[in-house]
Amino acid sequence: MRVDSAVRTDLNVDGMTCAACANRIQRRLGKVDGVEVAQVNFATGRATVTHASSVAETALAAEIEALGYGVIDDGDDAEAEQAREADLRRRLIVGVALALPAMVLSMVTALHFDGWEWVVAGLATPVILWSGWPFHRAAWMNLRHGSTTMDTLVSMGSLSALLWSTVVLVGDTAGWGVGGGHIYFETGAVIVTLILLGKWFEMRAKRRSGDAIRALADLGAKTAQLEDGRELALEDLAAGMRFVVKPGEKIATDGVVVDGRSAVDASMVTGEPVPVEVGPGDEVIGATINANGSLVVEATRVGSDTALAQIIRLVDQAQGSRAEVQRLADRVSSVFVPVAIAVAVLTLIGWLLVDGDTDAAFTAAVAVLIIACPCALGLATPLGIMVGTGRGAQLGVIIKGGEVLEDTRAIDAIVVDKTGTLTEAAMAVTDVHAPSLDQAGRDRVVRLAASAEARSEHPIAAAIATHGEALVDALADVETFVNRPGSGVVATVDGEEIRVGRRSLFDAVPAPVEVAAAEAEDTGATAVLAGRGAIAEVVIVVSDRVKATSADAVAAFHEQGLSVTMLTGDNARTAASVAATVGIGNRPGDDVIAEVYPEDKAAVISRLQDAGHRVAMVGDGINDAPALAQADLGIAVGTGTDVAIEASDLTIVSGDLRAVADAIALSRRTLAVIKGNLFWAFAYNTAAIPLAAFGVLNPMIAAGAMGLSSLFVVSNSLRLRRFAGYRSITR
């Protein structure tokens, strides 16, 4: 049930050592009255809670602390992480320094002097008790709450080796004859040391996987120089202030260029390798780099409202999300530890009953405890999501959550809007035809049409208005104005009715006008009809250039096995010309749907879904919001500072359609890595536990193999950092 006035709270959790810890905290938070959803991510160390506004953050923190974990303030998170790393390093150094000689002394018979067992005990005991203290503490804390985690297995295995060996050593000295004189001090010490080594590599890998988001946070400028020469700290900059950006400097915040021309390198935010030319009236993104000329920029968005802040927030949320595939891992983890303990007990009993060899029974049981520790299982999904979403941010691809990764797997059709997606959306009047009018009559109709279109915000209308302003000194006053969505406008200008739009807006279109319109449409241009009254008199030819990269993007979609459907409000001839230019129609299933009204786009998506397709929709995220929401995967293409995110699952901070292909490819690659991680984690435990139970693996080999499984998951996930995509950007 959804709660009223839901708010979101993020808490940094200290003390989690495995995925089972995260699951236990998540269950505890989920039971708090007023909490709608609680998600705890082991890899990021973060709890994300959606709850009623009446639930205090302190109450949530108290629930976590009641379980024995800590809650860290955002400002202290980095310091706490450094402290954890330093503590782990110290324990690992002690482990290596003492466990290595203990192992050598135990395994090399020539070194077995009188009393060597006591020396080994002296070396191994600090490793097991002090270096392994975090495992013992976590195991005891969980036991108090009636639960077990992966730490329970490590603690039980190492302490069992210590206690059993102590009994054997003391008993042998006292003449009890317990255990035949075999001791396992070095086994317990090596187990703890190897697992600490795995934790060390794991911590370093988790830090590397978060490098992308930290790098984004560090991109922004720290100060801004105002027009009057004053230098302000970035946090003191307000919307409306004007600041100067010199060549080579970072643009302080999102804004509009009011003076100067330059090329801006936005690659670190958008993923685009080629600098973009900007001049007065153009929007710029904060943290991008001014390449050559000097600019004066008026701030439009500051602080948390900037495009960079939005990207950081989205990536941070995505890295804390959970993919559907994680549920399987969670279910397995919740029952795995008790089952592993039960298998270890049965192994001990079985060996004693069948063989009667106490040493073999003990060794096999400890090996089962160690080999069963499914650390790799807990890392498989969250680490993959962290690295994948972080790499996406570097490429200007914002993946909204882990569930989006799975949505891309079944996508087999993609729908793209033409204007602004396949084309530049930089409309311009290229010709005017008036077959039945003289020059004065033609100019009169164009002036009336331009005056009417000046009231509209549509790109084609803006192009016509701009063209009219260039022909006459001033546009005429508009007395009445009616916008007919999808058809055009009807206005009264200078006492005359003027209609501007599609054929359907007119009662009659004379043959010469129809011929001129058809000829323009055959070239891929848009033919806009204009006329005084109900009869079309003039054809205004408006062209929108196809983006240079659109054909490559469509080819990439085809390579990914997707059929491509283009939607446009333009006529069929123009649509067909653009489709042919970019390659839509080269694959079975491709389609071109022209003269589509904005409100009908969602219906097109629905029809494709009814036909059995899983559909991705690419649009600008504003006018296309209903279609984006209807699609199985909504992809918003946000250019400049307009990062449209609310209705979409993926956001592309770029105007290059190839970035959409990159987003799909990266999502699929990330999901494949996660599945590979889970497969090998399951396969490792499934194969290794029987081997340990039958005495094939001794505890030290088991501990090493467990560490290697975690390293495999880490290294497999980090491969995503090398993902380049179709734009082949080197980073």
Which amino acids are annotated catalytic?
417
Contact between 161 and 102 under an 8 Å Cβ cutoff? The reply is no
DSSP letters spanning 558-607? HHTT-EEEEE-SS-HHHHHHHHHHHTTTSSTT-EEE-S--GGGHHHHHHH
Instruction: Tell me the C-alpha distance between 498 and 516, whole Å.
Output: 20
Handedness of CA 127, 129, 133, 138 (dihedral sign): positive
Place of tokens 């090998």: 680
Q: Which residues contact 487 (CB under 8 A, 6 or more apart)?
A: 501, 502, 504, 505
Number of helices and strands in the chain (H, E): 23, 26
Instruction: Tell me the C-alpha distance between 724 and 731, whole Å.
Output: 8
| Amino acid at residue number 657 | L
* Three-class secondary structure of residue 543 per DSSP: strand
Instruction: Tell me the C-alpha distance between 213 and 77, whole Å.
Output: 15
* Dihedral, CA of residue 302, residue 304, residue 309 and residue 310, to nearest 10: -110
Which of 434, 549, 441, 450 minimizes the C-alpha distance to 498? 450
Which token pair is 622?
A: 């504003």
Dmax over CA atoms of the chain, in Å, equals 123
Report CA Rg, the chain.
33
Place of tokens 């250039």: 545
- β partners of residue 357: none
Place of tokens 């915040």: 253
Instruction: Count Cα atoms within 13 angstroms, Cβ side, for 707.
Output: 20
What is the β-pairing status of strands 650-652 and 633-637? Answer: parallel
Which token pair is 686?
A: 């499934």
* Dihedral, CA of residue 140, residue 141, residue 146 and residue 149, to nearest 10: -80
Q: What is the 3-state secondary structure (H, E, C) of 67-105?
A: CCCEEECHHHHHHHHHHHHHHHHHHHHHHHHHHHHHHHH
* Three-class secondary structure of residue 190 per DSSP: helix
* Dihedral, CA of residue 469, residue 473, residue 477 and residue 481, to nearest 10: -20
Instruction: Tell me the C-alpha distance between 681 and 714, whole Å.
Output: 11
